[in-house]
Amino acid sequence: MELYKENQLKIYNSLTKSKEDFKPITEGYVGMYVCGPTVYSNAHLGNVRTFMFFDVVYRYLLHLGYKVRYVRNITDAGHLENDADEGEDRISKKARLEQIEPMEVVQMYTVDFHNVLKNYNFLPPSIEPTATGHIVEQIEMIKEIIEKGFAYEVNGSVYFDVLEYNKSSNYGILSGRKVEDLIHNTRALDGQSDKKNPQDFALWKKADDRHIMRWPSPWSDGFPGWHLECSVMSTKYLGESFDIHGGGMDLKFPHHECEIAQSQTCSGVKPVNYWMHTNMLLLNSQKMAKSTGNFILPNEILSGNNTILSKAFSASVVRFFNMQANYRSILDFSGEALEASEKGHSKLMEAVHFLPKIAAGKTSTFDVKNWKKDCYDAMNDDFNTPILISHLFEAVKVINQIKEQKASLTAEDLSELTTTMHAFVFDVLGLMNETTQDNSGKITGVVELLIKLRKEARENKDWALSDQIRDELIALGIQLKDGKEGTTFSIN
Ligand SMILES: [Zn+2]
């Protein structure tokens, strides 16, 4: 029997602001959409937190036996500098500044994004669609919204008519914002806007002469509005109504509010049953910002090549650290907190590695069945990973007591505890086996040879080669750590 039949998952739904029993539209199947990155710069640690949480959601749903279609898009056009449909397209701007093609920008940062996710042991989504790959579908959706009377064209651009929509629906249903307040609070943008009302948002924008990324449409040579792609791609791959939609809480408004308005206008039905939003990430108790130097890239944590942390941390430790906080709480990222997590992480791993060495006893001094239920209950309670981890540490305590011959488990209990620990630690939380003992001596030999060659390169001041060796090893999940005693390495 599939595990989901005996585990009633509850999800905190941002739409209703309450925890609800999760009931998928089709029994046994889950459709999940998560807003992906805009690929105009390196993967951002705050976004990585969001995607890491949804990776754990995906992993747990799979663990429960659901067939999951997980769609996470790549925004490669249409995302302007600000959310009020003004400013340059972020990717076009980067391309102009770097004097390269927009698609080179897209490729560079899509590769970087995938590289980060691979290093941090993410499962790839089922489908990773791009905005530029769905221009035709986006134009079709705009036509439909115009036909239904909820959008208008002005000077080659098309805008969604929020006031018209709000007559029969509720614009603000997700974010709690009121249209009347939006009217008063939205700045009229120096009179240049073509919008009937300032709270309207763009479905299609006419490209001005310097705008490189443009496509023909019935209205103008232009490009789609940012919110549209998610409505189009979620509907295309998951249907008019689907189960879970996720993203960072900064996307609630306007992005997700606009998605609901667009999708509902076309289908006439509620597009998403469960909205999930992750809270923000701080770095040393402050907002992360490149301009202030309070900034770190996900891969810089692994290489130790940064000014924020005093040492490198493994990807598994960073995952563990993330999962020690509830996704709906603010997470404060700091070297001190990571060091504490590193200690906890190695205690957990040591215990997991000791499991096969345990000999079964005649009796059990620990209620494994009850403990296992606690672990599932924690995850069933809106994916409460910190509570799950606290239960995993109850097992760690028992394993350590067995080591000291102060506790025992029967063969059956030992096997159940081992299976459950492995399922939660590796399959659900996605932590990685970091002991080098399990890797063959050959890998160690090869890495040590590369360390030696890198040392020679550095002595010859061949920095390019030495960096290449280090970076390519990171890409393989092997981190070098330079210390007083020479260079050591760890394998994820
Ligand atoms: Zn989106």
91 and 215 housed in the same domain: yes
Whether residue 9 is found in the same domain as residue 151: yes
Domain finish residue from 373, 403, 428: 428
CATH number at residue 258: 3.40.50.620
For residue 433, being part of any structural domain is answered with: no
Taking the centre of ligand 1 as the mean of its atom positions, its distance from the CA of residue 233, in whole angstroms, is: 9
* Co-location of 326 and 473 in the same domain: no
**How far is ligand 1, taken at its centre, from the CA of residue 235, in Å?**
12
Q: Does residue 350 sit in the same domain as residue 222?
A: no
pTM assigned to the model: 0.87
pLDDT tens sequence for the chain (492 residues): 899 999 999 999 999 999 999 999 999 999 999 999 999 999 999 999 999 999 999 999 999 999 999 999 999 988 888 766 778 889 988 998 899 999 999 999 999 999 999 999 999 999 999 999 999 999 999 999 999 999 999 999 999 999 999 999 999 999 999 888 777 665 554 455 789 988 999 999 999 888 888 999 999 999 999 999 999 999 999 999 999 999 999 999 999 999 999 999 999 999 999 999 999 999 999 999 888 889 999 999 999 999 999 999 999 999 999 999 999 999 999 999 999 999 999 999 999 999 999 999 999 999 999 999 999 999 999 999 999 999 999 999 999 999 999 999 999 999 999 999 999 999 999 999 875 444 455 677 788 889 989 989 989 999 999 989 988 888 888 888 887 767 888 876
Residue 435 is assigned to a structural domain of this protein: no
Q: Is residue 98 part of a domain?
A: yes
Please tell me the distance between residue 473's alpha carbon and the centre of ligand 1 in angstroms.
33
Q: 16 and 135 share a domain?
A: yes
Ligand 1 center to residue 145 CA distance, Å?
18
Same domain? For 360 and 311 the reply is yes
Q: 245, 278, 311: which is the final residue of a domain?
A: 278
Residues 418 and 450 in one domain: no
- Report yes or no: 311 and 336 within 8 Å, Cβ to Cβ: no
Say which CATH number the domain at 416 has: 1.10.730
Residues 409 and 451 occupy one common structural domain:
no
What is the domain extent for residue 340?
282-428
Same domain, 52 and 138: yes
Residue 434 in domain: no
Distance from residue 28's CA to the centre of ligand 1 (Å): 25
Alpha-carbon distance of 152 to 164, in angstroms, equals 11
* Total structural domains within the chain: 3
Residue 211 CA to ligand 1 centre (angstroms): 22
Residues 265 and 289 grouped into a single domain: no
List C-alpha distances in Å: 458 to 80, 452, 453, 464: 43, 10, 9, 9
**Residue 486, Ramachandran bin (φ over 0: left; ψ between -120 and 50: alpha; else beta):** left
Strands 29-34 and 67-72, by their bridges, are parallel
Say if residue 273 is in the same domain as residue 286: no
**Do 264 and 294 belong together in one domain?**
no
Rounded Cα distance, 276 and 229, in Å: 19
Contact 234, 263 (CB under 8 A): yes
The residue among 375, 404, 428 that closes a domain is 428
